Structure 1
Amino acid sequence: MGDYRIALNTGLPDNDLFFGKVLRPHGLEGLLRVQSFSQSAASLLNAGRVLFKLKTGENHYLQVISARPHKNIFLVKLEGLTDINQAEAFRGAEIHIRKDALVREEGEYFWFELLGLRVFTTDDEFLGVVSQIIPSGNTEIYVVKKGDRETLLPATHEVVNHIDLENGKMMISVLEGLLNPDEV
């Protein structure tokens, strides 16, 4: 299903997405340690000028010069940041990118696209709406809500048959024990 974890953030322009957060500077030459909702640096590099919302309330649009994975984060170099003192001002900053800058592989979906999808079984039974996505190791878990009932669905190809973003639908196969664990 793709594991790009781009988050929604209300109060932003429709084309803006909360991409991640600056944790702290890295080294002496202005690199930033960035925690991202994406597992790929391609979207950040493709974004052009990226919005950094500083904790002081200031907004800065800067070009990303480089971004590379480092353990569970990215090390990011921005235009104009050349030392640790300049980089320190970005500690805790939110990073926002344009939706059209997102890079995806075929068959991958972003979280903001999946939230709110109506979920149906292959027998056309309405199960509810995707209300939350929980990261869980190798796959995500979709929380599908209908009234007071929540159903947890693994985001695997065995369960999720088809995603139709245009019509706001997800079709799933009901594997034994998936909807009624007591039946197993």
Structure 2
Amino acid sequence: MPRAPEPATAQAGVALSDSHVLMGEIAGVRGVNGELKVHSWTRPRENILDYPVWTLRRGDEVCDWTLADGGWRGKNLVARFDGIADREAARALLGSHVMVARALMPEAGPEAFYWFELQGLAVETLGGINLGVVSGLIETGANDVLVVRGERERLIPYTPGVHVQSVELDAGRMRVDWDPEF
């Protein structure tokens, strides 16, 4: 399953509108030439650099920035934007959320979904019992796990063909083979 963002925060992977997806945040300033430390929620983390235009949101302020350069500098993932040439200009962007236009994201492929597409889907058993909605996902290494919140929280392995029987994005629904008592 392609991952735009990881489930590290409650906001990660949220489609903020029909047009943009939250992909990370500006976490710090590096050096004196306008480089910004980026906390990326993509997997692998440097995939965020594949998008040439980032929409930064801080509070009510929203602005598009063109990526001039980026990469690993030691243990930090950094980015530099056209028009940001010094530390003070970069500092003004600290704390901004990094969003990317959905139109810039590649298709997930047949029977593959981005995490943000699954969040908010209603989850029901094959017998039609409503279990709640997907509130997040957890990456475990073996397989991803759906966090489903309804009358209580359930953790359901994201295993297509085993536990997840169908994902119907247009209908806003996922059908699972899961015991509602578990």
Shift, 1:20, TM fit? 1.6
Residues 129 and 8 of structure 1: CA distance in aligned 2, closer, same or farther (over 3 Å): same
Q: Which residue of 2 aligns with 1:169?
A: 173
**TM-score calculated relative to the size of structure 2:** 0.72
Q: Is the 8 A contact 1:118 1:126 kept in 2?
A: no
Answer yes or no: is 1:51 the counterpart of 2:55: yes
Shift, 1:22, TM fit? 0.2
**TM-score calculated relative to the size of structure 1:** 0.72
Q: Secondary structure at the match of 1:64?
A: strand
Runs (5+) with no aligned partner, structure 1:
none
Letter in 2 for 1:38: T
- Superposed CA deviations along residues 44-78 of structure 1, whole A, max 9, x for unmatched, are 533x43222346x5443210123435788632121
Letter in 1 for 2:140: G
Q: Which residue of 1 aligns with 2:41?
A: 37
Q: Which residue of 1 aligns with 2:104?
A: 101
- Number of aligned residue pairs: 172
Please point out which of 98, 121, 146 is paired with 1:117.
Answer: 121
Percent identity (aligned): 21
Q: Distance in 2 between matches of 1:72 and 1:155?
A: 31
Q: Distance in 1 between matches of 2:76 and 2:3?
A: 15
Q: Secondary structure at the match of 1:81?
A: coil
Runs (5+) with no aligned partner, structure 2:
6-11
